[in-house]
Amino acid sequence: MIPEPAPSVNAPAPAERRLLAWLKPLGLAYGPALLPFLVGPLGECGHCVRTYATMLPLVPGAIALLAPLPNAGRFALCALLSLLVLGLAILSQRAASPLRRRLLGGALALLVGLEALAFASVLRM
């Protein structure tokens, strides 16, 4: 019979593991959305910063604002696409190999970051 290894002192508890399992995908989906505050065109306009901060939950799906729909339809589509991006972030972190996790997560973060910068630029117009 093989003895089980002793639990590590620094091993996270199950509740902490569940929290960490959500923090990575949230960071992938919404971390790049904070990029316009740091390097984007939002530095000079207080109104644009307030508008962008208000729209922050919808930024990962902001490409839907280009759809030829009424305003309520656009915002509903933004919310749906934001949930889709969050779902893709969760799925990318459950990929089998670490390389695949990094590639999928990096691609998703790059797309959200570019979309966030484009949305911030549109707000400045």
Q: Evaluate if residue 11 carries a pLDDT over 70.
A: no
- What average pLDDT does this structure show over 34-38? 86
Q: Would you tell me how many other CB atoms lie within 10 Å of the CB of residue 34?
A: 16
Asked, for residue 92, whether it belongs to a domain, the answer is yes
pTM (2 decimals)? 0.75
Give tens-digit pLDDT for 45-104. Answer: 788 888 888 888 888 887 777 778 787 888 888 888 888 888 888 888 777 788 888 888
What length is written for the chain? Answer: 125
Give the total number of structural domains in the chain.
1
Give tens-digit pLDDT for 93-113. Answer: 777 788 888 888 888 889 888
Where does residue 54 rank: exposed (0-12), middle (13-18), buried (19+ CB within 10 A)? Answer: exposed
Asked, for residue 21, whether it belongs to a domain, the answer is no
| Domain range enclosing 63 | 32-124
97, 21 contact by CB (below 8 A): no
